Structure 1
Amino acid sequence: MHKPDNQRGMSLISLMVALAIGIFLLAGLFQVWYQTRLTFSSQGQLAQLEDNQRMALTMMANTVQTGGFYPVYLNYPASATPTYTPALFTAAGNMVSAQYLYGTHDSTTKADTLTVRFIADKTSADSTTLDCQGQSEPTGTLVTNTYKIDTTKNNVLACSTDGGNNYLPIIQGSLNSMVITYGVDTLGDGTALQYLTADNVQALSVWGRVLSVKIALTFNNPLFGQPGNAGQSATLPTITRVIAITHS
């Protein structure tokens, strides 16, 4: 009677080769997944950064354009003729009477501050004056918005509405520097002849001759030092915007 051959399975070497091939393929798939994840994460951070840059410049530009605004009817009492300088802008802090623009400059840290004042106006439910923190202000209120880099909260752009006592962040992006310069009409011909930093404007006492404000923001690069982003610089190119003063 013929005896069948003994059944044989895969050898240990064959199993090890198969496992090695499987691990190699899984490692390749993991690498693809990891790189895809890094790419999506980087794109998300860059998109958020662009939103932060756009929001920062937009909010600061809107504030500068509002600087010096006052509702005309509040400055026209029935028995008096309005003056060129609204009396509603009272002296406060570093500002004298009628002054609505002020700033500070630090050449070392490049962390300037910008303060803008205006008179709130609300003529209807759809026409409301908001401060830099998004709060509605009553008509006739002297509103003060102060911008600075808040070093206590990851260097975010922050704004105060109470004269610089309390600040709230208005964007999430981390700032490396904020330099504010002022276009000054030094000759009195209605043209901004030169741009000066706040300390020079203060020294010359020419805040009343400022015709425009130039904002320069330098953001920290969110991709710097992250895996898969070798060669990224610590900061991004400076973005600037020049805003004309529309009220006086």
Structure 2
Amino acid sequence: MKRRSLPVAAALAATAALLLTACGSGDDSSKDNDKIAGADTSETGTSASPSASAGADAIDRPKMTFPSDFTMVFDRTEPAEPKEAAALNDAENFVRAINYGVVQQDAEDAAYKFYSDPRGTAQAYAKKQIQQYIDGGWTVTGTQSYTRGKVDMASGGERASVSFCDDDSKFYGKEVKSGKVLKTEPSDKDYYFFEIVMTTSKDAEGLWTAEAVQVQKEATQCKA
């Protein structure tokens, strides 16, 4: 077993382009068939912070460390435009923070709240993803591979749609108490396509926060 399914929090009402032009916050979706991120709670690991973007290196960010049996790999090209780079890095941080909440077994962990806008739907999405792991007695192990990162900036430069693929074919659930790894056979269910609406933070210059999330399951376009 990998991720447990969640009820859809809201209908997917728009594409990334529509989310960018919407006046209000976008809708979020659950991963309808297992998977998010995290790691075993019994070990310590190294920091997984991304490279700093221009203007963002002075932000007092929450530290996130993961055990050695869990890895998140972000294979993409850093955008040349500073705002695009910052939006992409903090979208990755948002996903990383969900994983960290699972590792900590804490659905109120500060990291995902730091990287999400409480006025949008992304924060509730993150909390539900973490809570389902806690309720099931699971953490995660293995490797998640994120590729094809792309940023579409809205006019005005205060909002962006960040998308990337997620390959979970080497990512597994793990029972917290027993340490048993819940392996599954590789399938199309291992692939997801994320679209995250990011907005500039009102609290910290250079910080971008997740407002809304769409996740396409069985995203076969993300296969290598």
Give the TM-score taking structure 2 as reference length.
0.30
Give the TM-score taking structure 1 as reference length.
0.28
Mark the structure with the bigger radius of gyration: 1
Structure number with higher helix proportion? 1
